[in-house]
C-alpha cells in the first residue's frame, strides 16, 4: 500500500500558483462551512457521471455502474443556415458539472423547480466560480454552449438486475430544463438585463436531484473546478465516506471499476490510474477527513469524515434513484 503525501512534504519555495491555491483552501476548510459555502450534487449523478471529453455527434451516450445505467440523449435543432436538423450536443467536461452542482444546490435550498439565474451573465458566472472571458475558446462561449447542451438534454437512469431466473428493470426518463429564458448579453457580460434569466426544471429531474443529494463544500469545488475527474472523485468520495461511516468497514475499489463509473475516456487503466492519483492528492488537501490508501489494483477506502458534518446534511440514502 502507498500512503498519500501530505501538504507538509512540499517545500514552500517550490509551490506553484495552483498548489498554493490548494493549500490556501486547505487552511480555510479547517473551519466548518457556513450555509453559503454548502453545495449539493445529485446522488445518481455521483454514481454514474457525465463524459469527461466530447463524445462527438452521437445520438446517445451512456455509462454503467453496477446495476445503474446513465444515458444522455442530446436535443436537436434546425441549422439556421441550412434549415437541416443538427444535434445540440452532449454535455461534457467541467462546465456542465459546475452547472449541476449549482442546479442541485439551488433546487435543494429553494425547494423550487424555477431557478433564477440573475440579471447579468458575469454575476451568474461568479456563482459558478468562472471568470468571464471572450474569444472562440473563452469561458463565455463555452458556458453558453454547455448551458444549451445540459438544459435541453434528456437524461435517463435504468436499474436492472436478475432475480428468480428472470430480469427486473426500472427506468426514469427526464428532461433537465424544458422551460427557460436567457436575456443576458454575451458581448457585455456585466450589463444587467431588463428581465431576469431563469430555467424551470422538469418534474422528474427536480425530484431526482432533490432525493437525498450528496452535500459538498463549495470552497473545495472552487479549487477542483478545472478538472472533471477531480470534481467527480470529490463528490463520489464524499458519498462513499458517508456510506462506509455507516457500515463501519473499509472497501476495496478496483481501478477498472472506478474508470467505468467516472465516465472517463481512458482506454488504458495505467493511464487512468496515473491521472487519478494526483487528483486524489488534491482532494485529500481539501477534504481532511478523507481516509484512503493506494493499493495494488485499486484504492482502499476507510470510514472517514465527509466534507459536511452530519448535523448539516439532508437525509442521504444508499438506494438506487429509480
Contact assessment for residue 214 and residue 239, using Cβ atoms and an 8 Å cutoff: yes
pLDDT reported for residue 230? 95
Query: What does the pLDDT look like over 252-288, one tens digit per residue?
Result: 999 988 988 875 667 788 889 988 999 999 999 899 8
Query: What does the pLDDT look like over 97-110, one tens digit per residue?
Result: 999 999 999 999 99
Q: What are phi and psi of 241, to 5 degrees?
A: -60, -40
Q: pTM of the full predicted structure?
A: 0.86
**pLDDT at position 164 over 80:** no
**pLDDT at position 231 over 50:** yes
Angle of helix 203-210 relative to helix 94-110, nearest 10 degrees, comes to: 90
Q: What are phi and psi of 243, to 5 degrees?
A: -70, -40
Q: What is the mean pLDDT of residues 190-211?
A: 89
pLDDT reported for residue 41? 93
| Strand residues in the chain grouped as ranges (E) | 38-41, 61-65, 68-73, 76-78, 85-87, 114-118, 154-163, 166-175, 179-181, 197-200, 214-217, 251-254, 292-295, 298-301
Query: What does the pLDDT look like over 17-67, one tens digit per residue?
Result: 766 666 665 566 656 666 778 899 998 899 889 999 999 999 999 988 888
Query: What does the pLDDT look like over 116-154, one tens digit per residue?
Result: 998 889 999 999 999 998 888 899 999 999 999 999 999
Q: How far apart are alpha carbons 3 and 290 in whole angstroms?
A: 13
Amino acid at each position: 500500500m502507498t500512503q498519500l503525501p501530505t501538504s507538509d512534504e512540499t517545500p514552500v519555495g517550490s509551490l506553484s500558483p495552483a498548489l498554493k491555491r490548494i493549500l490556501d483552501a486547505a487552511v480555510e476548510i479547517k473551519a466548518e462551512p457556513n450555509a453559503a459555502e454548502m453545495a449539493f450534487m445529485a446522488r445518481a449523478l455521483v454514481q454514474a457521471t457525465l463524459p469527461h471529453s466530447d463524445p462527438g455527434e452521437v445520438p446517445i451516450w451512456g455509462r454503467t455502474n453496477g446495476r445503474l445505467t446513465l444515458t444522455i440523449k442530446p436535443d436537436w435543432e434546425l441549422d439556421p443556415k441550412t434549415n437541416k436538423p443538427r444535434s445540440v450536443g452532449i454535455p461534457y467536461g467541467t462546465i456542465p458539472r459546475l452547472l449541476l452542482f449549482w442546479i442541485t444546490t439551488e433546487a435543494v435550498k429553494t425547494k423550487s423547480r424555477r431557478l433564477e439565474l440573475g440579471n447579468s451573465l458575469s454575476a451568474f458566472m461568479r456563482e459558478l466560480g468562472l471568470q468571464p472571458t471572450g474569444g472562440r475558446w473563452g469561458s463565455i462561449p463555452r458556458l453558453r454552449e454547455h448551458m444549451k447542451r445540459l438544459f435541453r438534454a434528456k437524461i435517463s437512469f435504468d436499474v436492472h438486475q436478475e432475480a428468480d431466473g428472470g430480469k427486473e428493470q426500472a427506468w426514469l426518463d427526464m428532461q433537465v430544463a424544458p422551460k427557460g429564458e436567457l436575456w443576458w448579453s454575451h458581448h457585455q457580460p456585466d450589463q444587467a438585463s431588463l428581465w431576469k434569466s431563469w430555467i424551470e426544471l422538469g418534474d422528474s429531474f427536480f425530484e431526482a436531484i432533490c432525493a437525498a443529494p450528496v452535500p459538498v463544500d463549495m470552497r473545495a469545488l472552487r479549487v477542483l473546478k478545472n478538472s472533471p475527474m477531480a470534481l467527480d472523485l470529490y463528490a463520489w468520495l464524499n458519498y462513499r465516506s458517508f456510506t462506509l461511516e455507516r457500515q463501519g468497514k473499509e472497501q476495496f475499489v478496483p481501478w477498472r471499476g472506478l474508470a467505468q463509473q467516472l465516465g472517463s475516456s481512458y482506454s488504458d487503466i495505467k493511464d487512468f490510474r496515473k491521472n487519478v492519483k494526483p487528483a486524489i492528492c488534491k482532494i485529500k488537501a481539501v477534504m481532511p477527513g478523507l481516509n484512503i490508501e493506494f493499493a495494488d489494483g485499486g484504492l482502499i477506502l476507510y470510514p472517514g469524515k465527509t466534507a459536511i458534518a452530519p448535523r448539516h446534511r439532508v437525509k442521504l440514502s444508499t438506494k438506487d434513484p429509480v
